């Protein structure tokens, strides 16, 4: 009788904790001392299982429920174990005999009487669901597919795949679905502090940096070394995905320009915008608006740590109600709240927590925020609208709505499109408009 491996047992424990606490998978992984105690290989495998099962949860339940008697209910810990082993079978292409055996042992460890059921269910997954998934992958490769095949390949809700096809077209939707379960990678951007190159700081900290496709971007081969290095706290480097870096570069303010950022969050794009201006010769002057007091306070502390608080004013306010006292700006940058469907691998809880009407509800808020932001643009100034959504109702349709309004008549669309660094992982939409002088 094979004993379940340490990596799988820890992954199962973390999945159970996530379910009980309704916690974020990445938060649990960061806080797990048991994970740190594993070998590097086992740590990577356990992390892959936790994030993958979380991202594919609804699809895995659909597979499992198809092999149970009608009305049968699985004890939650048993379902956790079956999800884990089914994910390994389906999406990690694990050997059927190993996955079934390990799955049975995981179930035996939490509910011994359910071991026989686990064996039967996992064998059915291997015999019927694995070939069905392979057929869906082949149809994607051939280009003859619909939303149901996208849903299978990406372990995604069918309704979301239907929207993706309508918004992206077949080729880009296929790439997005394939990327939904891919590891996100630990990307950082450099923030110039002193004369020591970013890469040297990262290498000295043991982070094993690899230069990325954008200036100042790095992929960390040993991301666990970043936290204890102090580089993030001192704002030598900024953890952020590549698409966010690209959007900030596209919006890059000139030195000395007055900039209004709406939707500051924790200040990541504030730092990127200021860094882009400094790369051109000097700082810009930013007023950054955030509705959450906690996030606004955190952002202000980051600006202080970065040494740019003299050029950034953090304001806690509702971006839909920007006061006239703020004045007008050369650049208004709106990082709008959205479904996050362009960052599924980075945020594995998103796909199966979204309601079908979520994007439409957010679009109402996005239109209000964009209208408010547009009112703060000086004649001849720029307005940049950005989301990390792939859905047209949050992206193109919002911009079109502004342009069709009386306020929008004063603007012309300069550019619009998606920054796709890696589909499903790093995808942002941005549009640049200019107010006529």
Which residues are catalytically annotated?
388
Helices 147-154 and 130-142 cross at an angle (nearest 10°) of 120
In whole angstroms, give the CA distance from residue 30 to residue 52: 16
310 CB-near residues (< 8 Å, 6+ apart): none
Among the listed residues 408, 407, 303, 395, the one whose alpha carbon sits nearest the alpha carbon of residue 341: 395
CB atoms closer than 10 angstroms to residue 203: 13
Q: Which residue in the block uniquely carries the two structure tokens 């949050």?
A: 394
Q: Which residue in the block uniquely carries the two structure tokens 């040297």?
A: 200
Residue 124: C-alpha distances to residues 89, 90, 127 (Å): 11, 12, 5
Helices (H) and strands (E) in the chain, counts: 19, 11
Backbone angles phi, psi at 383, to 5 degrees: -125, 120
Residue 345 zone, left/alpha/beta (φ > 0; ψ -120 to 50; rest): alpha
Q: Which residues of 308-317 are buried (b: 16+ CB within 10 A; e: fewer)?
A: beebbebbbe
Helix (H) or strand (E) holding 314: strand 312-316
Helices of type H across 33-180: 33-37, 40-65, 76-91, 96-110, 115-124, 130-142, 147-154, 158-168, 170-179
45 CB-near residues (< 8 Å, 6+ apart): 7, 11
């Amino acid at each position: 009788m094979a004993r379940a491996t340490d990596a799988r047992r820890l992954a199962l424990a973390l999945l159970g904790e996530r379910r009980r606490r309704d916690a974020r998978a990445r938060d649990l992984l960061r806080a797990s001392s048991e994970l740190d105690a594993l070998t590097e290989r086992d740590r990577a495998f356990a992390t892959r299982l936790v994030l993958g099962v979380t991202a594919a949860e609804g699809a895995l339940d659909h597979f499992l429920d198809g092999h149970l008697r009608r009305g049968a209910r699985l004890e939650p810990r048993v379902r956790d174990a079956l999800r884990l082993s089914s994910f390994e079978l389906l999406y990690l292409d694990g050997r059927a005999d190993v996955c079934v055996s390990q799955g049975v042992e995981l179930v035996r460890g939490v509910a011994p009487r359910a071991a026989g059921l686990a064996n039967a269910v996992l064998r059915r997954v291997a015999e019927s669901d694995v070939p069905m998934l392979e057929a869906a992958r082949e149809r994607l490769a051939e280009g003859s597919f619909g939303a149901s095949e996208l849903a299978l390949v990406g372990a995604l809700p069918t309704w979301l795949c239907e929207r993706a096809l309508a918004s992206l077209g077949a080729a880009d939707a296929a790439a997005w679905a394939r990327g939904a379960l891919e590891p996100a990678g630990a990307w950082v951007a450099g923030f110039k502090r002193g004369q020591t190159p970013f890469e040297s700081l990262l290498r000295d900290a043991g982070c094993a940096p690899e230069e990325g496709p954008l200036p100042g971007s790095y992929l960390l081969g040993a991301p666990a070394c970043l936290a204890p290095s102090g580089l993030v706290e001192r704002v030598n480097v900024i953890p952020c995905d590549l698409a966010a870096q690209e959007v900030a570069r596209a919006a890059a303010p000139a030195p000395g320009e007055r900039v209004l950022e709406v939707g500051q969050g924790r200040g990541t794009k504030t730092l990127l915008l200021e860094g882009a201006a400094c790369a051109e010769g000097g700082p810009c002057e930013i007023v950054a608006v955030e509705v959450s007091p906690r996030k606004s306070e955190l952002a202000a502390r980051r600006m202080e740590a970065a040494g740019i608080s003299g050029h950034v004013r953090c304001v806690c306010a509702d971006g839909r109600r920007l006061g006239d006292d703020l004045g007008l700006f050369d650049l208004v940058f709106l990082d709008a709240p959205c479904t996050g469907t362009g960052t599924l691998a980075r945020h594995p809880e998103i796909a199966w927590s979204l309601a079908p009407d979520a994007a439409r509800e957010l679009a109402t808020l996005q239109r209000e925020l964009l209208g408010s932001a547009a009112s703060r643009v000086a004649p001849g100034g720029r307005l940049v609208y950005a989301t990390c959504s792939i859905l047209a109702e949050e992206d193109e349709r919002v911009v079109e709505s502004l342009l069709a309004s009386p306020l929008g008549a004063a603007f012309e669309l300069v550019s619009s499109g998606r920054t796709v660094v890696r589909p499903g992982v790093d995808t942002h939409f941005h549009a640049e408009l200019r107010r006529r002088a």
